Structure 1
């Protein structure tokens, strides 16, 4: 990015933050922002946030979803007909530093944005990002929930999900299928599932809407599957 582009991005971020503060003061609560404004607010936070590598039993490759891909998720989730009695929740399963969770909370059609991460060092960074966001927008965390646990935890039920994102590129097939089967049984009609790899066995309650090529931090074009629950 050249100097002029960086300066323009900083100006957009500052203008978005000022406008958001004014809306919060006038309206007394959190507002839904457009996706470009959310990117301008969150990008500086994540540019300064430490990255992390997990060791030991969880020696996993770590990358993140790009902002334009998050925009695609939010916009498609807003357009798709959802049959739930509430707006429904966004779930990021293996949320890492929480960028998708914060993005969906600020711009998405969801009543809550939930990040689930089993690694304590990563959930700590997600909490750190949320804290930095709340310093600029005090009520920004009202719709955010971060959980340090396994996404296969039996106590977790995904009946209230409107959209689920599961980056399973580096997850073994047994774990992936266990989660796919859980989502197959628990998600509601009309809810969306976004994942890096398709399940190895067909799921009777999901239809494949599309296979896209979307940018991730490790590549400009990664396979991206979109399913809808029937």
Structure 2
């Protein structure tokens, strides 16, 4: 009798867990969670993750996008860009934006490209931690240790591209915006910290926002739409 009661309690517990996820907007088959729940899931995970500093030949300035800024990006993507496609974070660091967007259900996949191996390793740690809580989460996450200028990457399937480019040198800035202008589909969006150094007729500005980043509470971000 005790065995039957224990089994019943286990079944009820599983049912309770499913209802709890459903209340958060989560589909266990295809993971999709509302923006507030995503932040609640990922924030403690990243608080426990080791920090990273730049070193060696890739001594790059590092900071991360804050959760309210990711929600703003999601809102723009829902309103301004209706076609399917991927989310790209160019210089994805510990993968915060990549994991966030993968849980929204809005994108075909969520791609992070980062040149520093220690940051890619931390992003993969975060993904493992997420999957330990939600097994189906992150199924469409792709993390690459590479330069986003590598010609093997094609941005013709992008729906939204994010690049924190405040500290890019002119050569990198010109090269990546040239690639995005030539390859991104009509109607797709770019979020960037700094506008291209030269005017690009392929894009129009649809917004400028003051948003929180880890290095300042009011960083300027530009929203561009491909024409």
* Pair in the same fold by TM > 0.5: yes
Change (3 A) 1:198 1:68: same
Q: Does 1:221 align with 2:218?
A: yes
Q: What is the alpha-carbon distance in structure 1 between the residues aligned to residue 170 and residue 18 of structure 2?
A: 42
Greater alpha carbon shift after TM alignment, 214-223 vs 102-111? 102-111
Counterpart of 1:141 in 2: which secondary structure? coil
Q: What is the alpha-carbon distance in structure 2 between the residues aligned to residue 21 and residue 100 of structure 1?
A: 23
- Match 1:94 to one of 80, 91, 95: 91
Change (3 A) 1:121 1:53: same
Q: What is the alpha-carbon distance in structure 2 between the residues aligned to residue 143 and residue 23 of structure 1?
A: 20
- The question of whether the paired residues in 1 share the 8 Å contact of 2:81 and 2:189 is answered with no
1:143 Cα shift? 1.5
- The question of whether the paired residues in 1 share the 8 Å contact of 2:24 and 2:33 is answered with no
- The question of whether the paired residues in 1 share the 8 Å contact of 2:102 and 2:109 is answered with yes
Q: What is the alpha-carbon distance in structure 2 between the residues aligned to residue 62 and residue 187 of structure 1?
A: 26
Taking only aligned residues, the RMSD between alpha carbons, in angstroms, comes to 2.2
Change (3 A) 1:42 1:96: same
- Aligned residue runs from structure 1 range 65-144, under 5 A: 65-82=65-82, 84=83, 87-144=84-141
- Aligned residue runs from structure 1 range 37-76, under 5 A: 37-76=37-76
1:170 Cα shift? 1.5
Q: What is the alpha-carbon distance in structure 2 between the residues aligned to residue 29 and residue 108 of structure 1?
A: 11
Change (3 A) 1:16 1:223: farther
Q: What is the alpha-carbon distance in structure 1 between the residues aligned to residue 197 and residue 105 of structure 2?
A: 30
TM-score with structure 2 setting the length: 0.88
Count of residue pairs brought into register by the alignment: 212
- The question of whether the paired residues in 2 share the 8 Å contact of 1:89 and 1:161 is answered with yes
Q: Does 1:20 align with 2:17?
A: no
Counterpart of 1:95 in 2: which secondary structure? coil
TM-score with structure 1 setting the length: 0.87
> 1:127-172: per-residue Cα shift (whole Å, max 9, x none)?
0000000000001011111011100000110000000000001111
| Structure 1: runs of 5+ lacking an equivalent | 1-14
Counterpart of 2:130 in 1: which secondary structure? helix
- The question of whether the paired residues in 2 share the 8 Å contact of 1:16 and 1:41 is answered with no
